[in-house]
Amino acid sequence: MSKIADTLSKLNIELEPYEARLVAISKTKPSSDIKEAYEAGQRDFGENKAQEMTQKYEELPSDIRWHMVGHMQRNKVKYIAPYVYLIHSVDSEKLLRTIDKEAVKSDRIINCLLQVHIAEESTKFGFDEAELNDLLENDFLKEVPNVRVVGLMGMATNTDNEAQVIREFQGLKLLYDEIKEKYKADNFSLKYLSMGMSGDYPIALECGSNMVRIGSTIFGERNYG
Ligand SMILES: *Cc1c(COP(=O)(O)O)cnc(C)c1O
């Protein structure tokens, strides 16, 4: 068995009790690596750049589910709108409007996660809790009917302080449970809580994640050269 296939099989065993979906984050990695994972049965892949994802989409099998996990510039949405499976990194009303507009052009409904800022670092994008409540309270989602909000995404602080990571993930899980019940809209139906990466996914699963985004554990360290 190849190293990629072997790692995927171990991860799947680890994820099974949590019924969590594995999104293999393939950014910067060649299509040949993705092909190897695909042949081992993996179908969900994540990228953080629209052009790179689109190029891979064109080269690889059409039943791959492409997840966008990186911060998006609005002028790049048009490249991925025709095929993207789930956008994890939706962090503004403006971006929601653009996704809606491009979804209409592609005659699609685009599934999105709202990214919530849970980390201490100021560099991580996302809504804070108040902004999120504002957006949902004001019926903003009625204005973007071709967007469907199906969950939340968050990234914990990159730290060895496990207690802090637990606190951040638990906070997001609480928020998820709260807004899931509180708000009703035709295009709001929470199913996915996307949290956990190579360094912290075991903690994220314990805190209630049902979708993990794992890159370097599967494909090796990234070399940005
Ligand atoms: C790169 C990336 C990941 C995967 O990171 P690893 O540490 O390689 O597992 C997960 N989520 C997002 C948003 C990313 O940009």
Residue-wise pLDDT for 186-214, tens only, equals 999 999 999 999 999 999 999 999 999 99
170 class by beta-carbon count within 10 Å (0-12 exposed, 13-18 middle, 19+ buried): middle
Domain count, the chain: 1
CB 150 within 8 A of CB 112: yes
Q: Which amino acid is at 117?
A: H
Question: Is 199's C-beta closer than 6 angstroms to any atom of ligand 1?
Answer: yes
Confidence band (pLDDT; 50, 70, 90) for 132? very high
Question: Is 215's C-beta closer than 6 angstroms to any atom of ligand 1?
Answer: yes
pLDDT at 120 over 90: no
Task: Please check whether residue 223 lies inside any domain of the structure.
Answer: no
Task: Please check whether residue 222 lies inside any domain of the structure.
Answer: no
Rounded to the nearest whole angstrom, what is the distance from the C-alpha of residue 143 to the centroid of ligand 1? 31
Q: How many CB atoms lie within 10 A of CB 19?
A: 8
| Phi and psi based region of residue 41 (left: phi greater than 0; alpha: psi -120 to 50; beta: remaining) | left
Structural domain boundaries enclosing 159: 3-217
Confidence band (pLDDT; 50, 70, 90) for 223? confident
CB 60 within 8 A of CB 35: yes
Q: How far apart are CA 114 and CA 43, in angstroms?
A: 22
Task: Please check whether residue 224 lies inside any domain of the structure.
Answer: no
What pLDDT is stored for residue 54 in this prediction? 98
What pLDDT is stored for residue 169 in this prediction? 98
Task: Please check whether residue 41 lies inside any domain of the structure.
Answer: yes
Task: Indicate the top mutation candidate among 197, 200, 214 to test ligand 1's pocket, ranked by most ligand atoms within 8 A of CB.
Answer: 197
pLDDT at 123 over 90: no
Q: How far apart are CA 119 and CA 98, in angstroms?
A: 26
Structure tokens at 15: 């994820």
Residue 75's SS3 state is helix
What pLDDT is stored for residue 52 in this prediction? 98
What pLDDT is stored for residue 225 in this prediction? 55
- Counting Cα atoms < 13 Å in the Cβ hemisphere of 177 gives 8
Task: Please check whether residue 225 lies inside any domain of the structure.
Answer: no
Helices (H) and strands (E) in the chain, counts: 9, 8
Structure tokens at 200: 């912290």
Kindly report the CATH number assigned to the domain that includes residue 117: 3.20.20.10
Task: Please check whether residue 91 lies inside any domain of the structure.
Answer: yes
pLDDT, tens digit (0-9, with 9 covering 90-100), for 163-180: 999 999 999 999 999 999
CB 154 within 8 A of CB 172: yes
23-32, 42-51, 120-129, 149-158: segment of lowest average pLDDT: 120-129
What's the pTM?
Answer: 0.97
pLDDT, tens digit (0-9, with 9 covering 90-100), for 67-88: 999 999 999 999 999 999 999 9
Structure tokens at 141: 């989602």
Mean pLDDT of 55-63: 98
